[in-house]
Structure 1
Amino acid sequence: MGRYLPIIIVALLMIYCVVEVAQAPPLAVRRMPRWLWAVAIICVPLVGAVAWLLLGRPNAESLGTSRPRPRPQAPDDDIDFLRGL
């Protein structure tokens, strides 16, 4: 069992990464197109999967969800509150 464990781990990592590539928004994937990431993960199992996790996964910047607007300290600093008056 011990000698099959690395193979099982790499296979599960590949499956996880291929599913994640398939579910990622096409324009949010970084560095390469989605189809090329899928090919890299399948053809170069461990290196492709690790590269996807480090370099290709969508992050907050590529998804367009950067930091939220800071909350105002007082009501007269809140644009939405002033608009409702």
Structure 2
Amino acid sequence: MARVWFLLALVVIVLTVYTLVECALIDRNRIRALPRWAWLIVIIVVPVIGPAMWVLLGRGGRRDSGARPARSSAPDDDPEFLRRLEREKTQQERIRKLERELADLDEPGPTDGTGTAGTTGAPPKKTEPGDGDVPDRRDA
């Protein structure tokens, strides 16, 4: 008789642990009748009936009855995908335009034949620290 009670206790413990884990990890949309926290309390407090109620009443089917099945479509049929492609295309064009403008700004201006830029004939700017136009000033 002790073996029967031991096996029944083992079955109850296994069933309780299984239903606790399943209740804790199942998608919220598949839980029926009570909120998740209430099901966890029922499973723990009512040892045999709680897990049995969860199996019979608490967990829903594979899909919620109000949910539409996911429709698979080709990328060129998906309007969001097409909008995203168009945004990426305009973004790439904008980046190319800005890169061209930056490249134009980096190009040196026309030379006057003396090797200096521009037509003013001014000497090139000194870049050594301390060689600025103002005495005793160190330019970085």
Same fold? TM cut 0.5: yes
- Runs in 1 of length 4+ with deviation above 3 angstroms? 63-66
What corresponds to 2:32 in structure 1?
30
1:2 aligns with 2:4: yes
Cα distance 1:65–1:21, how it changes in 2: closer, same or farther (>3 A)? farther
> What per-residue deviation string (whole Å, max 9, x for no partner) do you get for residues 57-77 of structure 1?
1213427376x99xxxxxxxx
2:54 alignment partner, one of 52, 59, 62: 52
Unaligned segments of structure 2, at least 5 residues: 78-140
**Where does 1:36-75 land on structure 2 (aligned, <5 Å)?**
36-62=38-64, 64=67
Q: TM-score, normalised by structure 2?
A: 0.44
| Percent of residue pairs identical | 33
Higher relative helix content: 1
Deviates more, 1:57-66 or 1:39-48: 57-66
Cα distance 1:49–1:65, how it changes in 2: closer, same or farther (>3 A)? farther
Cα distance 1:8–1:24, how it changes in 2: closer, same or farther (>3 A)? same
Where 1:51 maps in the other structure, the secondary structure is: helix
Unaligned segments of structure 1, at least 5 residues: 70-79
Cα distance 1:20–1:3, how it changes in 2: closer, same or farther (>3 A)? same
What corresponds to 1:13 in structure 2?
15
Q: Larger Cα Rg: Structure 1 or Structure 2? A: 2
Aligned length: 70
